[in-house]
Amino acid sequence: MSAFKSYDIRGRLGTDLTEAIVHRIARAFATVTGADAVVLARDCRESSPGLADAVAAGLVAQGVRVLDLGLAGTEEMYFATAHLGAGGGICVTASHNPREYNGMKLVGRGAVPLPDADFARIRSLTEGGAEFSAAPQGGREDWSTVRADYVAHVVALVGQGIGPLRLVMNAGNGAAGPTLDALAEGLAARGAQLDLVRMHHDPDGSFPNGIPNPLLPANRPVTAKAVQAAGADFGVAFDGDFDRCFLFDGEGGFVDGEHVVALLAAAHLVSDPKATIIHDPRVIWAVQDAVQRGGGRSVLTPTGHVFLKAAMRREGAVYGGEMSAHHYFRGFMACDSGMIPWLMVARLASQSGRNLTEMVGALRRDFPSSGEINFRVDDLPSVVRRVETALAPQARSTDRTDGLSLDFGDWRMNLRASNTEPLLRLNVEARGDAGLVAEGVARVSGLIEG
């Protein structure tokens, strides 16, 4: 089974992914991109230092200067790639996957996603046994000090007018802890008043408190209870490479992804009225309402970072968000960040006079949703056709931006195939009536399983 997925590289250690394989990937990356300098970062998994060494050796063998950040988040790699003018960037990470996995995230110059053709060629060269041409030896350089520039950039974007707030910060023993500490110092220097209650803070690749994947409901109670115990204004939990953060309100309630997108859209439109907001089509009504209230323009795009980033640049959007907790910012190279979202929400709460619990409570009341429900089916296209045949005649509108979206006026559904697994993913939302959500889920589920 190949470690090459739709957007990145992810696989089981020892089979899909070995040091020899990532060495070849690195040589192929250098060959395809022609980069003379590549930023390299890694997460804290126990396998990541060895894999990062193999990546560096492959790049050096192709004559590349390796600008090594050491332990750092994916977004720090994005920033450094653009900031240092490198020809590309690689982060060795498996993010939220189980311990026996690792992977690589690849970008080109300016932290722009690689074109599909380039990614396919890297795969072909890696898996096809190509012989790589000899090149003058490159070198590996320590660029860990670039974190200070990253902190300065993020603080300049969102660091003023925050607090006083008490926040629980759960790093999940992933890579977030050291960067959060540096960011906290930078924020304090700019006058932010934040009391950060740190938990599971130190990077530990054995993940003694479980894999950092707050999207799983089973992993949420530890943060929720910490928020309640600390009397915090809200809580933040990060995944392993902290390109995503997940929010908990002041009562410990998990904040659904589309509601975070709505909050961030509103936050941007306060200072940039009439701006364009990009979002995915899975759950949209809360976001579109926030954009309309703020005087902005909302644009749908298919799910996935490649599509969101391309739309951000094409539309000149100030912000783009996915309900899966990927958030993209024009001021951050149109890339996703896990640090900027919680800071923007903190600033919004500080300046609006409304706490996160109040803001999210209104969104839950006005725009209830089902959360993503997964179905494993043998023939995805035929199941989608069955749902469409039964329900489309009753819908006010049909949209195919990503999968099948049907709008019935008082409730709405999106049904799409996973990009990485043989799954159908269902989302249902309603306007002010949670009962309609339950009815919609039952109706569509019956068609899928029937």
Which residues contact residue 276 at a Cβ distance below 8 angstroms, ignoring those fewer than 6 apart? 296, 297, 298, 299, 315, 316, 317, 318
Helix (H, G, I), strand (E, B) or coil at 334: coil
Helix (H, G, I), strand (E, B) or coil at 338: coil
Q: Which amino acid is at 307?
A: F
How far apart CA 264 and CA 259 sit, in angstroms, is 9
Number of Cβ within a 10 Å radius of residue 61: 17
Reported for 198-201, long-range contacts at CB under 8 A and 24+ positions apart, including other chains, are: 198/169, 198/171, 199/168, 199/169, 199/170, 199/171, 199/223, 199/226, 200/170, 200/171, 200/172, 200/173, 201/169, 201/171, 201/173, 201/177
Rg (Cα) of the chain, in Å, rounded? 22
Q: Choose among 311, 327, 341: nearest CA to 402.
A: 311
Asked if 320 contacts 327 with a C-beta cutoff of 8 angstroms, the reply is yes
H-assigned helices in 45-171: 48-61, 74-83, 116-127, 147-158
Q: Does 95 qualify as catalytic in the annotation?
A: yes
The residue from 48, 95, 298, 337 that is catalytic is 95
Asked if 281 contacts 304 with a C-beta cutoff of 8 angstroms, the reply is no
Question: So which residues are the catalytic ones?
Answer: 95
